[in-house]
A and B are shown apart, each in its own frame.
Chain A
C-alpha cells in the first residue's frame, strides 16, 4: 500500500463559534498506480485532505502512512521527498526570478541531498530538454528564460513536470487546472493523464470539473462536510455519468439529513 490514512480528523478553531470539522475520521487507502479523483462542494475538506497528506497540516488524531512508514509527525519538507505537489495557483509551484533550467534543477534534487556541486550540469541540461519536449510547448528552447516571464499555462505545465519527473511515491494535484482558461486547462489535463501513466504514479487529484473527474483515473471519491461520502472504482466508475453522480449525491445527503433529523428529533 502506498498511502494509508487511518482515522484522520482535523478541527479548526475548536471550541469557538468558527469551529470547523474539516476532516472527520477519514480513512483512505491507495495502492501503487491508483489514480483517484476527488470531488465535493466548497469547504468539503478536499484541500485539507491534501494538506494532511503533504504534511503542511498535522492531524488532531489519526495517522498518515506512506509505503509502510508512519510519517504523521515528519516535517513537511522531509515528507516532500516522497510527495510531489501541484498547486491551484500557477505562481505557487515555481520560482519566478529563476530560470527554467534552475527550477528543474531544484526539482531534480528533491529526493537527493543537496550538495555544493553545480545545480545545472551539461548532462542534466540534456535531460531537462528531453523532458520539456514532452510538454510540446517549445520550452526546451527557452532553458534560460526566467519562469516569471511564462504564461500561467506554461508555468503550470512546468510545475507538473517538476512535480512528476523524479517519480514521487504520491502525486497530489489540488485543482491544478482551475486557474487556467478552458483550452489551457484541457492541455494540462491531457498532460496530467500522460505523465501519470508514463511514470505509473499514485495520484490524488482534486477537481470541480465532474467530467474531468469521470474521464481521468481509476477511482473517484466524493467528499462532503469533512467526510468521504462516496467511493467508486473500476468498472463501476467507468459506467458513471454526471447525472448518476448528482443523483447519488442527493440520495446520500437526503439520507443523512433524515438521520440528522431523527437524531435531533
Chain B
C-alpha cells in the first residue's frame, strides 16, 4: 500500500509538468488546447528515439521539449493566422501528430530497457549521498517492512517541478508575461496597448506544449517505453489536475495556483491508484474515474458555496425572527 502510493506521488510529480502546460493554455490563454494528446507522445517519442540513438538522456529530454514547442506553435499559427477556432486547431494538430509520432518511432511501441535514462543517470550519484539509507531507516523505525528502492526519482522530480513552477511564476509577471495573460483575459484591450496577440498566442501555446512534451519524455524514461497511444485522454487528465488542484488549494495568486496545479496532479494520481485497489474496478475504468473526478471537482465547490449561502440566509432570518 505504501509503495503504490509512493509511486503514485512519483508519477504525480512527473505528470505535474504536463498539468502546468495545460494550465498555461487552458487558464492563462483561455485556449482549450487538445494538441496535448499528441504533443505528450511527441515528447515521449523524440526522447526515446534520441536516447536509443545514443543522445545523452538530458539532451534527449531537451529535444523532446523543443519538439513539443514546435507542435504548440503550429496549433497557434492555425488559430491566429489560419483563423481556425481553438478547439478545431488543437484537434487537427492532435490528429496530425498521431501520424508524425508513428513516423518518429517507426513502430507503435519503443522499449527503453537497458538504455540510459535521466533517472538512472542520477541514481549512481544519488547512492553516494546515502539519503536512501537514511530515509528508509526512518521508515523502518515507524514499522514499515517494505521500503522504496530509491528516493532519487521522487526528489529529483520535486526539484524539477518546483524549478519549472518558479520560472513560470516569474515569467507570468514579466512585461511579456503580463501581455500573455491579458491576451487570454481581454484580447481587444491588450491589442490597444500595442501587444501582438497573435505572436503571444503562438509562443504561449509553444511553451505550454513544451512542458507537456517534457513530461511525456520523462514518463517514457520512467516507465521504460514510449507508445503511440499513451497520450489518449491526456488533456482530460491535465484538466482534472488543474481543476482538482484549484478546488482543493485555491487560486488566490499565480504562485498559489501553479502550486495548486502541481498538488492537483499528485492528488489525481493518488486517487486513481486508490480507486484501482477497489475490488470490482479495472484498469480500463481509469478514464471513467477521471471523468467523474473532474465532474465532482467542478460541481462540488458550487454545491458547498450554495449551501453556505443558504445557511447564511437562514441565520439572518432566524436573527430577525428572534428579535
Contact B174 A95 (CB under 8 A): no
| A115 / chain B contacts, CB cutoff of 8 Å | 174-176
Q: How far is the CB of A93 from chain B (nearest CB, A)?
A: 6
A95-B181 contact, Cβ under 8 Å, with A77-B197, A80-B191, A85-B192? yes
Q: How far is the CB of B81 from chain A (nearest CB, A)?
A: 13
Q: Is A232 an interface residue (CB 8 A)?
A: no
Provide the bound-state CA to CA distance between A118 and B178, in Å: 9
Contact B185 A120 (CB under 8 A): no
Contact B193 A106 (CB under 8 A): yes
List A88-146 residues whose CB lies under 8 Å from chain B.
91-98, 102, 105-107, 109-112, 114-120
Q: Which of B176, B178, B191 contacts A102 (CB 8 A)?
A: B178
Contact B194 A111 (CB under 8 A): yes
Contact A109 B188 (CB under 8 A): no
Q: Which of A81, A111, A119 contacts B178 (CB 8 A)?
A: A119
| A109 / chain B contacts, CB cutoff of 8 Å | 175, 178-179, 193-195
Interface size class of B (residues with CB under 8 A): 20 to 34
Provide the bound-state CA to CA distance between A80 and B187, in Å: 14
Which of chain A's residues has its CB closest to B174's CB?
A116
| A54 / chain B contacts, CB cutoff of 8 Å | 192
| A95 / chain B contacts, CB cutoff of 8 Å | 181-182, 185-186, 189-190
| B178 / chain A contacts, CB cutoff of 8 Å | 98, 102, 105-106, 109, 119
| A84 / chain B contacts, CB cutoff of 8 Å | 192
| B177 / chain A contacts, CB cutoff of 8 Å | 119
Contact A106 B173 (CB under 8 A): no
Contact A105 B192 (CB under 8 A): no
Which of chain B's residues has its CB closest to A97's CB?
B185
Q: How far is the CB of B183 from chain A (nearest CB, A)?
A: 9
Provide the bound-state CA to CA distance between A54 and B195, in Å: 14
| A118 / chain B contacts, CB cutoff of 8 Å | 170, 173-175
| A80 / chain B contacts, CB cutoff of 8 Å | 191-194
| A93 / chain B contacts, CB cutoff of 8 Å | 189, 192
| B176 / chain A contacts, CB cutoff of 8 Å | 114-116
Q: Is A78 an interface residue (CB 8 A)?
A: yes
Contact A119 B191 (CB under 8 A): no
Contact A98 B181 (CB under 8 A): yes
Contact A116 B171 (CB under 8 A): yes
> B152-191 toward A: CB 8 Å interface, digit per residue (1/0)?
0000000000000000001101111111011001101111
Contact A114 B195 (CB under 8 A): yes
| A102 / chain B contacts, CB cutoff of 8 Å | 178, 181
Q: How far is the CB of B28 from chain A (nearest CB, A)?
A: 10
Q: How far is the CB of A194 from chain B (nearest CB, A)?
A: 22
Contact A94 B197 (CB under 8 A): no
Contact A78 B189 (CB under 8 A): no
Provide the bound-state CA to CA distance between A96 and B181, in Å: 11
Provide the bound-state CA to CA distance between A96 and B188, in Å: 13
Q: How far is the CB of A252 from chain B (nearest CB, A)?
A: 34
Contact B191 A106 (CB under 8 A): no
Q: How far is the CB of A236 from chain B (nearest CB, A)?
A: 33
Q: Which of A76, A116, A162 contacts B191 (CB 8 A)?
A: A76
| B188 / chain A contacts, CB cutoff of 8 Å | 87, 92
Contact B186 A77 (CB under 8 A): no
Q: Is B196 an interface residue (CB 8 A)?
A: yes
A110-B194 contact, Cβ under 8 Å, with A97-B185, A98-B181? yes
| B181 / chain A contacts, CB cutoff of 8 Å | 95, 97-98, 102
A110-B186 contact, Cβ under 8 Å, with A117-B175, A118-B173, A119-B173? no
Q: How far is the CB of A127 from chain B (nearest CB, A)?
A: 15
Q: Which of A78, A91, A105 contacts B194 (CB 8 A)?
A: A78
| B194 / chain A contacts, CB cutoff of 8 Å | 77-78, 80-81, 109-111
Provide the bound-state CA to CA distance between A182 and B190, in Å: 28
Which of chain A's residues has its CB closest to B186's CB?
A95
- Jot down 18 A-B pairs with beta carbons below 8 A, ordered by A: A54-B192, A77-B194, A77-B195, A83-B192, A87-B188, A93-B189, A96-B185, A98-B181, A109-B175, A109-B193, A114-B176, A115-B174, A115-B176, A116-B171, A117-B175, A118-B170, A119-B174, A119-B177
Chain B contact residues, CB within 8 Å of chain A: 170-171, 173-179, 181-182, 185-186, 188-197
20 extra A-B contacts, CB within 8 A, seeds A93-B189, A114-B179: A77-B191, A77-B194, A80-B194, A83-B192, A85-B192, A91-B186, A95-B181, A98-B178, A105-B175, A106-B190, A106-B195, A109-B179, A114-B176, A115-B174, A115-B175, A115-B176, A117-B174, A118-B170, A118-B173, A162-B193
Chain A contact residues, CB within 8 Å of chain B: 54, 76-78, 80-81, 83-85, 87, 91-98, 102, 105-107, 109-112, 114-120, 162-163
Q: Lowest 8 CB-CB distances: which A-B pairs, in order?
A: A114-B175, A95-B185, A80-B194, A95-B182, A119-B178, A95-B186, A119-B175, A81-B194
